[in-house]
Amino acid sequence: MSPRIRFRQLVDGSPLIAPSMLKCDFGNLHREVELLEAAGVRLLHLDVMDAHFVPNLSYGPMVIERMRQLTDLPFDAHLMISEPERYLDDYVSAGCDAITIHVEAVPEPSALLCRIREAGVASGLAINPGTPVEQITPFLPDCDLVLVMSVEPGFGGQKFIPSALEKLAQLKQLVSPETILSVDGGIDVATIGPCAQSGANLFVAGSSIFEAPDYREAAVQLSESASAAASSTI
């Protein structure tokens, strides 16, 4: 089974909680991954930053390759980098299951999204808080995943920007039912419900998991809040 199919099969009607590894203890990566597996999470969100597209630097394919040896969990890579086309092959070989690029970095992303799919990986397109949905509408058929940033990309621990909710609702009307709708930034038990009601089904959570004393408890609470909110809209 290709990584793309495996990633798409994660969608089963229940909310997907994706811990953002930006907030993990990198000195104890093996232990962190073990704790997350024990917490029952079904995928990991990997934030790649180049100190150029965003004003922060994180990690790249070498770390992801090492992480790949620690777990079979699907990797949802979020590339906050300029010129992602130059580095795509490295992220594919490192073992990413989904690769998301930013429309602000690649204004005409069709060819690159197709390249991601041709590599057998799920294709994702992200938009920043200041970018209107209209800017990605033509490319939605090329996306397995659409990521709405609910903070300015670059740092964890920021406050959720509520205009992300309108964008999610707008996108929900535009994408196919199979397209994964993801939201990233400031997701906690208070903000996850409105995101689920607006149509999101993948929720990236950094601080709300890694700052909690018990990862399992934190992930379960997020999942329950999302499920409760999503079912109350029906």
Assess 19 for contact with ligand DX5 (CB under 6 A): no
If you ran DSSP here, which 8-state letter would residue 157 be given? S
Which two three-digit tokens encode residue 8?
Answer: 């798409």
Q: Which range touches Zn ion (CB under 5 A), out of 113-121, 165-173, 178-186, 214-222?
A: 178-186
Distance CA 61, CA 172 (A): 32
Among 3, 60, 109, 156, binds ligand DX5 (CB under 6 A): 156
Closest CB to ligand DX5 among 82 and 110?
82
Q: Where are the alpha helices (DSSP H) in 106-214?
A: 110-118, 163-174, 192-197, 207-210
Assess 47 for contact with Zn ion (CB under 5 A): yes
Which two three-digit tokens encode residue 45?
Answer: 């969100």
184 is catalytic: yes
Q: Which range touches Zn ion (CB under 5 A), out of 50-58, 176-184, 189-197, 217-225?
A: 176-184
Assess 102 for contact with Zn ion (CB under 5 A): no
- Residue 186's region, left for phi above 0, alpha for psi from -120 to 50, else beta, is left
Find the radius of gyration of the CA atoms of the chain: 16
Assess 148 for contact with ligand DX5 (CB under 6 A): no
Assess 129 for contact with ligand DX5 (CB under 6 A): no
47 is catalytic: yes
Active site residues: 47, 184
